Amino acid sequence: MSLILEHYLYGFGVGIAFFIIAWVVSLVLGKSSHIDSVWGLSFSLLTAFYYYLSGKVIGQLDIIFITVVFLWSFRLGLFLAYRFSVEGEDRRYVEIKTNWNKTNVGFIGMFILQGFLASLLSIPLLLFSHGVVVNEALFFVGISFVFIFTVFETVADWQLFQFKARNKNRTCNVGLWKYSRHPNYFSEWMIWVGLFLTTLSQGALGWFSFISVAIIFYLLNFVSGIPIIERDARNGVFKREGEKEYFESTSVFFPLLPRRKS
C-alpha cells in the first residue's frame, strides 16, 4: 500500500509537469482551449507511467485495459483538439481569464489545477496497474462500460458538432440529446463508473476508485461543466431557438424520456 501511495504521488508530479508544458504551448498559441485536449491525453500518459512504475508483467487483461483506456483518452483528447481548431478558444476560458484578470502568462494556475485534478482522478489507473484481477466477470462488465460509453460519448459529441454546423442559433434536441441535455457528460461519468468496476474486480482496494466517480460527478454537475454551460438558461435567459422548451422538458444529466408539456 505504501508503494502504491508513493507512485500516486509521483503521478502528481508527472501530471502537473505535463500541464505546465501545455501552459508553455498556450503562450505560443496565445489561447488556452487546448487544455481540454491535454486533459484527455493526460490519462494515457498517467496509465503508461503507472504501469512503468509497477514493473508488472502485462497479461491479457492488462492489454485489454490499456487498449480501452487509451482509446477513450485519445478519442477525447483528439476530438477536443479538433473542436478547438474549428471553433476557436472556448468561451469558458475566455471568461475565466477575464474574471481572474489574467493574461495567458498568469493563467498557469488553471493549468496546474487541471494537472492536479487529472492526477487526483487517476486512482483507478494507478490501482489497476498495480493489482491482479480476481473477478474476471466484474472486470469485463467494467471495461465494457468504458468502451460502450466511449462510443456513446463519441456519438453525442459528433451529433452536437454536426447539428451546430447546420443549425445556427438553434438548440440541439436530436439523437442522444433528446433524452439528456448533456449526454456527453453522462457518458464521461459512466466511463469512470466502468473504471471503478475494473479496479473493484481486483479486490476491496478498488473501492478507493469510487472517489474518482464522486469527484467527476460533482465537477460535471456543480462546478465546471453544466453550471457554466447552462448559466444563462438557469437565470431565465434563453438565447437559442427552442431552448426554453428544451430546458423545461429534457433531463439535465441522466437520460430520460422527455417530459410532456402540461
pLDDT digits (tens, 9 = 90+) for 205-245: 999 999 999 999 999 999 888 988 888 777 777 778 888 89
Cα distance between residue 186 and residue 182, in whole Å: 6
Q: What are the residue boundaries of the structural domains of the chain, listed by start? A: 1-131, 132-262
Nearest-10 crossing angle of helices 35-54, 123-130? 20
**How many CA atoms lie within 13 Å of 119's alpha carbon, on the beta-carbon side?**
22
Distance CA 37, CA 76 (A): 7
* Average pLDDT for the chain: 90
Distance CA 16, CA 90 (A): 22
Q: State the pTM of this model.
A: 0.92
Tell me: the pLDDT tens digits for 45-88? Answer: 999 999 999 999 999 999 999 999 999 999 999 988 887 777 66
Confidence of residue 257 (pLDDT cuts 50, 70, 90): very high
